[in-house]
Structure 1
């Protein structure tokens, strides 16, 4: 049991830190799913939305959901930062958070009703732990759906705890690093701060949408690869915690036989990543 976690009913058991940059179209659904979570615990949840560098009404749409959180004794706080940058937003959220368990949530993610409670239970310990749920990769267009079908079967996604879009740590785990460094891949940085044995997967799921269209898939994959390379260059000591398995040829052949179109799309994106120069900037592709 984390010391002080249940000292009084006003102390949050969990702080959800939610960076959001120009996410007006998605922030409402994300917060409504979070607010509908099953929560049988005495201590409440606090949600901190960090609207960073927004040129739309993300902050106002987030505040519009506050009454629903207050109705169940939870809090929803919206911080606005004129300057963009996800790691800066994460640090601002951490500075405002009071919960022993920290859940870092992307604004395009939709959590299932049991995810928050299961993560809380997994992290309710004094030893350092990292947790995430079962990721459901979703897409709209036929090409991105084909890519998603194969990506779900890649050993890293199917066998490990990737934490795409949602990852969480307890107080002892959060003590392993100070401020988030200014890096591309905050989720990779945090995941590799823990050994494979310290990473816990809970059965509850969440929906994580991917980019739409070939060019956007290539750009996102390039950014993902650049983020991993940056971790290796700046924090080489973390690589000892990497447990990413290589796909066996037999597994790849099986995927090709079951879904030749999906594998063709997936392989085409991988090839384009190698052949095309990386684009400047960042586009989610939705």
Structure 2
């Protein structure tokens, strides 16, 4: 049996799609799904129960807290940690689980497929550039799902109270211990507007600073402008795409400096999509 933990804060609008995709072809008793609605003010818990999964409702907010609650209730390994607004098929889960049988692999993640329907003209260009820049080093971060073996779980859990859970997990393993599974895919719907994208980016930078302060700096280092130049040279992105990306990047850094290291409560409500 594969255990699957889904933290959910006011995810009524998207959780049904997530669970329907996940369970569409699952055999009986193949998955043990635990949804953890935390500090919800909508019908997230009711949607989860309609799909016949286990529900652990808590009045306390925070993604790390919800992940710990769900993890404590899990019955078996491997364990899948899935965001409620991500689509992951039954077949993809099986491919991810199978990848953990490879020697030395403790953690894995799928390849993300970006659904940009409804995104603004600028947001689409920014996402296109960002995806190409981070694709070589992304692995467990930014795809909405990661999977851990029993030994991998012992390395990353219990999660501390952190902003970026996937960043923490990614940095818990060496490049030889984590892998992307090309035959598995997660459908990710990034921010539809520049404003929403900037909110996410500010939070991401705060999360990265927090991890670095905890002794877990990014092993891949920071992206350099030369990487963007290489994309333009190879015609992977257009000069217009690059200009949009750089403009938003400047705004991103200005806002991050203005906000400093202030604490930010975890939120995945629809207004940030």
Higher RCO structure (Cα 8 Å, ≥6 apart): 2
* 5+ long unaligned stretches in structure 1: 1-11, 67-75
Residue 193 of structure 2, aligned match among 189, 204, 213? 213
Q: 1:259 to 1:162 in 2, by over 3 A?
A: farther
Q: Residue in 2 aligned with 1:144? A: 123
Of the three residues 23, 28, 36, the one matched with 2:16 is: 28
- Which deviations, in whole Å up to 9, do the C-alpha atoms of 1:16-66 show, x marking residues without a partner? 100000000000000001002466xx9621110000010000010111111
Q: Is the 8 A contact 1:134 1:205 kept in 2?
A: yes
Equivalent position to 1:239, from 201, 212, 217: 217
Assess, with a 3 A threshold, how the Cα gap between structure 1 residues 249 and 86 changes in structure 2: closer, same or farther. closer
Q: Find the residue that maps to 1:81 and give its secondary structure.
A: coil
Alpha-carbon spacing, 1:256–1:90, altered in 2? closer, same or farther (3 Å)? same
Change (3 A) 1:135 1:249: closer
Relative distance call for 1:50 and 1:192 in structure 2 (3 A) is same
1:257–1:77 Cα change, 3 Å: closer
- The answer on 1:272 being equivalent to 2:272 is no
Q: Where does residue 95 of structure 1 map in the other structure? A: 72
Shift of 1:199: 0.8
Distance 1:220 1:240 in 2: 18
Pairing partner for 1:49 from 30, 35, 38: 35
SS of the residue corresponding to residue 13 of structure 2 reads coil
Separation in structure 2 between the aligned mates of residue 217 and residue 158 of structure 1, nearest angstrom: 21
| TM-score using structure 2 length | 0.86
Are residues 255 and 89 of structure 1, via their aligned partners in 2, closer, same or farther at CA, if it must alter by over 3 Å?
farther
Aligned to 2:56: 79
Counterpart residue number, 2:272 = 285
Contact 2:212/2:218 (8 A) holds in 1:
no
Structure 1 partner of 2:161: 182
Aligned to 1:134: 111
Are the structure 2 counterparts of residues 248 and 242 from structure 1 closer, same or farther at C-alpha, using a change threshold of 3 Å? Answer: closer
Q: d(CA) in 2 for partners of 1:157 and 1:250?
A: 16
Contact 2:231–2:237 under 8 Å retained in 1: no
- How far did residue 205 of structure 1 move? 1.1
SS of aligned partner of 1:48: strand
Structure-1 separation of matches of 2:185 and 2:90: 9
Unaligned runs of 5+ in 2: none
Aligned residue in 2 for 1:157: 135
Q: Structure 1 residue aligned with 2:4, among 4, 16, 21?
A: 16
